[in-house]
Amino acid sequence: GIQVEQSPPDLILQEGANSTLRCNFSDSVNNLQWFHQNPWGQLINLFYIPSGTKQNGRLSATTVATERYSLLYISSSQTTDSGVYFCAVLREETSGSRLTFGEGTQLTVNP
Amino acid sequence: NAGVTQTPKFQVLKTGQSMTLQCAQDMNHNSMYWYRQDPGMGLRLIYYSASEGTTDKGEVPNGYNVSRLNKREFSLRLESAAPSQTSVYFCASSVRDSVYEQYFGPGTRLTVT
């Protein structure tokens, strides 16, 4: 099956700093999503981005499908950005298809 | 619009007990999914239902059964709970098949002692 690697595994920032999270995947994909899991465990959809660039406020994401990676940018980080960021990808196959998650990046933003 | 709802939020079971986790969505989505998340890990797919009346196994189906009761509801049953099934369970839905964006419920935290 498809492999998903996220880096870095852990990231500690001071409030106001910028950061870039990376997601590498091992094969072409039909779907790529970024999620934020907040400290209460809730999964929040950030981006549905199988290719191209999207922006939503202080967050933006870019997926370069041909090179099999995606980047999530967080600018002017806030303490509420803390939590785990997951990348998940899907490749349609004749045997079925499923969203495969990476192991996440644990982000801590200190005041 | 509540999105995806799950009940219960928390549950503690003894080994060998059974229970059903409930999931409902009000977005008129065709596809629904059950995932589990173990500590420090991403989510893994247990079962999914591409459309009403169909269900398929995911990556980790052993020890679970599912029922797509109607278009809105998709339940997950543990017939004989084991400590290895201690996890957080998430339900999700999407407009159609997995290619489309998935939306997740708040999760059920299950402990099996």
Per-residue pLDDT of chain B (113 residues; tens, 9 = 90+): 789 999 999 999 999 999 999 999 999 999 999 999 998 888 999 999 988 889 999 889 999 999 998 999 999 999 999 999 999 999 999 987 666 788 999 999 999 99
The answer to whether residues A88 and A4 touch, using CB atoms and an 8 Å cutoff, is: yes
Per DSSP, the three-state class of B12 is strand
pLDDT value for B109: 96
Beta pairing, strands B31-37 & B43-49? antiparallel
Residue A33 contacts residue B102 (beta carbons within 8 Å): yes
Q: Return the residue of A nearest to B40 by Cα.
A: A103
**B34 interfaces chain A, CB cutoff of 8 Å:** no
Q: How confident is the model at residue A97 (pLDDT cuts 50, 70, 90)?
A: low
* Chain B nearest CA to A78, separation (Å): 23
Sequence-separated (6 or more) residues with CB below 8 Å from residue A52? A62, A63
CB contact under 8 A, B98 and A99: yes
pLDDT, residue A91, reads: 75
The confidence score (pLDDT) of residue B112 equals 97
Of the candidates A101, A106, A79, A75, the residue with the CA atom closest to the CA atom of residue A90? A101
Q: What's the pLDDT score for residue A1?
A: 80
Rounded Cα distance between B74 and B80, Å, is 19
Extended strands (E) in chain B? 4-7, 10-13, 19-25, 31-37, 43-49, 56-57, 64-68, 74-78, 87-94, 102-104, 108-112
Q: Which residues pair with A89 in a beta bridge?
A: A32, A100
Query: In this complex, do B42 and A33 lie within 8 Å of one another by their Cβ atoms?
Result: no
- pLDDT for res A39: 87
Q: What is the pLDDT of residue A30?
A: 86
Residues of B in contact with A101 (CB under 8 A): 42-44
A67 pLDDT more than 80: yes
